[in-house]
Amino acid sequence: MKYTVNEQGYYGDFGGAYIPEMLYPNVEELRQQYQKIIGDAGFKSEFDQLLKDYVGRPSPLYLAKRLSEKYGANIFLKREDLNHTGSHKINNAIGQILLAQRLGKKRIIAETGAGQHGVATATVCALMGMQCVVYMGEIDMERQAPNVARMKMLGATVVPATSGSKTLKDATNEAMRDWIGNPVDTHYIIGSVVGPYPYPEMVAQFQSIISLETKKQLLEQTGKELPEYVLACVGGGSNAMGMFYHFLDDEQVKLIAVEAAGKGVNSGHSAATSVLGREGILHGSRTILMQTDDGQVVEPYSISAGLDYPGIGPQHAHLHKIQRAQYVNITDDESLQAGLLLSQLEGIIPAIESAHAFAYLEKMKFEKSDNVVVCLSGRGDKDLSTYIKHFGF
Amino acid sequence: MNRLNQLFEKKKNNLLSVYFTAGYPELNTTLNIAEALEKAGADFLEIGFPYSDPVADGPTIQHSSQKALDNGMNLNLLFEQLADLRKRVSIPVLLMGYVNPMVQYGVERFCAKAAEVGVDGVIVPDLPMYEYEMLYQGCFAKYELSNIFLVTPQTAEARIRKIDELSNSFIYLLSSASVTGHNLQVSDATETYFQRIKDMQLKNPTVIGFGIGDQATYQKATAYANGAIVGSAFVKLLGTPGYMEKIPEFIKSIRG
């Protein structure tokens, strides 16, 4: 495929593995093993079985009639919110736990922002009887309290990250430190298409089930495999990468990645990385990064805990640079309004992350015959308190 | 031959290096601390240029980096402060930090500036070996800067050999798999690791760092390597009142 990774772990100018020596053996072991393991027939069959019977895949592709009427196009929702644990994160967590088992690891660590990846990881650890430690920013623990409770109930230890902005970026730093200190028995389940190679590629492959199913379902429902537009929200970008993956080489499909503008791109409270960032290195890969002139990482902001990350995955950085995908942004308010609209038009309360993707429909112009797929990456239960606070329900 | 090579030529054992973060605890104390450390008997120095997301560091050094950034430290300012380095300090000096600030500054420009102020080497833990080899080795050579690689208990022998081949001053042995600031616990496994490296007869001298903070750990480290590096323990001292006056006593407490 034209847009995937090269042998050195780069997507064009982005990617690589910028890690301290302490992590080199772990990352190198993964690099050497992961393709072999996930290409194995036994792995594939166990992965597929769990996705089907445990996660509930294939997730439906739902033609949202009232939304379609409003926007004058055929709007399809890829229902990742219906997966077990409520988001796309479980696809990758299942893949990585099976990988960790085959690597002989006994202990799992993870980072989480909104808590969805933490819940997914805690879930698969419970399923497989593995010890689980999840790092989460102190601020995120407050705003995503139900997910913290879920993780604890599933048997995970949740460790607050108290440095920096006390959000996802800092949770990632803490998880990396844990991995440095536990190089032999521990696997780090990174939750997005970020981190040193091979993580971005591996996570994208596990999430590519989203676009694989979409193509098949579109063909069944419309007689055409390819839509005109595909939309997904982007923090680190794992649901978007999964949603784009099998459409990357279909150049006629317009790919739209929606970032969080927060309180406005130029407000100083934003996570619109592709606009505010420039090339840099964070968490092990060269990508596009929000940073000062001196190369210090700028604290991002979004009402959505899952989107306030200062970088994007390296493959996204590449797709942005070569303009294969269009990177746009949506404010907190716009996303909340879109969440309310979807709730009231379709009876589906989306995660605020996913609501960013829906909000962008307002800014697009469609032909009546256009098929548009939006990745509904997660459900909004975890965000109810934010919705309540905003709308005063 | 740069100052580091001269040092290792002259002194084979019991070398002591001290790390501190530029701009911590106060913005303009970098050279004062460096000067005091030389007077107190340190053999060489590592000056950290702070980074917002230092994943290889523990809480003590991370805190010092954040405080230094809050104080206003950046690479431009650090190089300005180091303009008088060689008027005040004669021992070898290394800069230590992370790859993103160096890349944003421009690697060639960074090397040129480091050489201009009299820096002898650079330690950048997250700069990949292959990238150094492909892109930067020539630049480092041009400015006579040493690039220091880290080795951990998990580093495979072939990789250590490669590191030895690419190094031209010393190799930084991590005492254990950890971030900075953990106390060195010498176990059978650690001793086996130190001995394994010693038996490899590397062409470059080795210096042990991470977890060295008192006389006992310093002595253990220098029994296996040419020297030891003290970081977090010294940075902790810098966080206490009257730290400048305490520097000679601190160095004495390590050396014994």
Above 90 in pLDDT, residue A338?
A: yes
Residue by residue, pLDDT tens for chain B (256 residues) are 689 999 999 999 999 999 999 999 999 999 999 999 999 999 999 999 999 999 888 889 999 999 999 999 999 999 999 999 999 999 999 999 999 999 999 999 999 999 999 999 999 999 999 999 999 999 999 999 999 999 999 999 999 999 999 999 999 999 887 777 777 777 778 889 999 999 999 999 999 998 899 999 999 999 999 999 999 999 999 999 999 999 999 999 999 8
**Separation CA B155–CA B162 (nearest Å):** 11
Confidence of residue A99 (pLDDT cuts 50, 70, 90): very high
Distance, in Å, from the CA atom of A282 to the CA atom of B117, rounded to the nearest integer, reads: 28
CA B101 to chain A, closest CA, distance in angstroms equals 4
In this prediction, residues A68-74 reach a mean pLDDT of: 98
pLDDT band at A161 (very low <50, low <70, confident <90, very high): very high
- Of the residues B9, B57, B144, B165, only one is catalytic, namely B57
Which amino acid is located at A180 in the chain?
I
Tell me the residues of chain B between 41 and 60 that have a Cβ less than 8 Å away from chain A.
51-53, 55-56, 58-59
CA distance A289 to A272: 10
Percent of chain A at pLDDT above 70?
100
How high is the pLDDT of residue B117?
A: 98
What is the average pLDDT across A219-224?
98
Substitution target from B21, B49, B51, B52 for chain A, most A beta carbons within 10 A: B52
Length of chain A: 393
Please report the pLDDT score of residue B77 as a whole number.
98
Contacts 24+ apart (CB under 8 A), A173-177: A173/A283, A173/B53, A173/B55, A174/A111, A174/A135, A175/A109, A175/A110, A175/A111, A175/A135, A176/A23, A176/A283, A176/A284, A176/B55, A177/B55, A177/B58, A177/B179
- List of chain A residues whose C-beta atoms are within 8 Å of the C-beta of residue B56: 20, 22, 180
Q: Which helix (H) or strand (E) holds B177?
A: none
Are A294 and B55 an interchain contact pair (Cβ–Cβ within 8 Å)? no
Question: In the numeric block, which tokens belong to residue B125?
Answer: 């833990």
Phi-psi region of A10 (alpha: psi -120 to 50; beta: other; left: phi over 0): beta
Residue B211: C-alpha distances to residues B57, B174, B193 (Å): 12, 9, 15
Nearest to B53 among A181, A294, A297 (CB): A297
Q: Mapped to the 3 state alphabet, what secondary structure does A200-269 carry? A: HHHHHHHHCHHHHHHHHHHHHHHCCCCCCEEEEECCCCHHHHHHHHHHCCCCCCEEEEEEEEECCCCCCC
DSSP of B211-248, one letter per residue? S--SHHHHHHHHHHSSEEEE-HHHHHHHTSTTHHHHHH
Best of A296, A297, A298, A309 to substitute, by most chain B Cβ atoms within 10 angstroms, is A296
- Cα A344 to chain centroid distance, Å, stands at 25
Judged by CB atoms closer than 8 Å, whether chains meet at B179 and A181 is answered as: yes
Q: What is the mean pLDDT of residues A285-306?
A: 95
Query: Measured between alpha carbons, how far is B173 from B210 in angstroms, rounded to an integer?
Result: 9
Minimal-distance CA residue of chain B relative to A170: B53
Say yes or no for a CB contact (<8 Å) between A21 and B52. Answer: no
What b/e sequence results for B51-64 when a residue is b if at least 16 CB atoms lie within 10 Å of its CB, and e otherwise? Answer: bbbbbbbbebbbbb
* Residue in B with minimal Cα distance to A174: B55
3-class SS string, A118-144? HHHHHHHHHHHCCEEEEEEEHHHHHHC
Lowest mean pLDDT: which of A133-142, A317-326, A350-359? A133-142
Of A21, A173, A297, the CB nearest to B151: A21
Contacts of A184 in chain B (CB under 8 A): 154
Is B126 part of the contact surface with chain A (CB cutoff 8 Å)?
Answer: yes
Once rounded to an integer, what is the mean pLDDT over residues A232-255?
98
Whole-number Å distance between alpha carbons of B76 and A253: 46
Residue A256 in this model has a pLDDT that exceeds 90: yes
Close Cβ partners of A19 (under 8 Å, ≥ 6 residues apart): A27, A196, A284, B126, B128
**A323 in contact with B at a CB cutoff of 8 Å?**
no
pLDDT at A163 over 90: no
Contact B75 A294 (CB under 8 A): yes
Closest Cα in chain B, distance from residue A138 (Å): 16
Q: Which residues of B touch A181 (CB under 8 A)?
A: 177-179, 182
Q: pLDDT class for A36, splitting at 50, 70, 90?
A: very high
Q: How far is CA A273 from the centre of its chain?
A: 15
Beta bridge partners of B147: B122
Put simply, the chain B residues between 163 and 182 with a CB less than 8 A from any chain A CB are 174, 177-179, 182
Q: Which of B104, B128, B150 lies nearest to residue A18, judging by beta carbons?
A: B128
Q: Report the pLDDT value the prediction gives residue A164, as an integer from 0 to 100.
A: 75
Catalytic residues of A: 89, 111, 377
Q: Does A183 touch chain B (CB under 8 A)?
A: yes
Instruction: Determine the distance in angstroms separating the CA of A155 from the nearest CA of chain B, rounded to an integer.
Output: 26
Exactly one of B35, B38, B43, B46 is catalytic; name it. B46
Residues of chain B found within 8 Å of residue A24, distances taken between Cβ atoms: 152, 154-155, 159
Q: Which residues of A touch B53 (CB under 8 A)?
A: 164, 169, 173, 282-283, 297
Contacts of residue A216, defined as CB under 8 A and 6 or more positions apart, other chains included, come to A58, A225
Nearest-Cα distance to chain B for A173, in Å, is: 6
Chosen for mutation from A7, A26, A294, A298 (greatest number of chain B CBs closer than 10 Å) is A294
Q: Is B128 on the interface with A (CB under 8 A)?
A: yes
* CB contacts, 8 Å: A296 with chain B: 51-52, 69, 74, 101
B174 contacts A283? CB cut-off 8 A? no
Size of interface A-B (CB pairs under 8 A): 105
**CA-based nearest residue in chain B for residue A281:** B100
Asked if B178 lies within 8 A of A181 by C-beta distance, the reply is yes
Contacts of A25 in chain B (CB under 8 A): 152, 154-156
Complex confidence, ipTM: 0.94
- Whether A218 and chain B come into contact, CB under 8 Å, resolves to no
Q: Do B231 and B61 contact (CB within 8 A), yes or no?
A: yes
Secondary structure of residue A104 in the 3-state scheme: coil
pLDDT at residue A2 in the model: 73
DSSP calls for A40-65? SHHHHHHHHHHIIIII-PSPPEEE-H
The confidence score (pLDDT) of residue A1 equals: 60
Q: Are A183 and B177 in contact (CB < 8 Å)?
A: yes
Which tokens is B190 given?
């650690």
B74 in contact with chain A, both atoms CB, cutoff 8 A: yes
3-state secondary structure at position B40: helix
Query: For residue A87, what pLDDT is reported?
Result: 96
Cβ within 8 Å of residue A108, ≥6 positions away: A97, A100, A121, A125, A130, A131, A132, A133, A186, A187, A188, A189
Mutation for testing the A interface, residue in B67, B154, B208, B210 having most A CBs under 10 Å? B154
Q: How far is CA A368 from CA A68, A222, A228, A371, B154, in A?
A: 9, 14, 11, 9, 60
| Chain B residue with the nearest C-alpha to that of A24 | B155
* Other residues' Cβ atoms within 10 Å of the Cβ of residue B134: 11
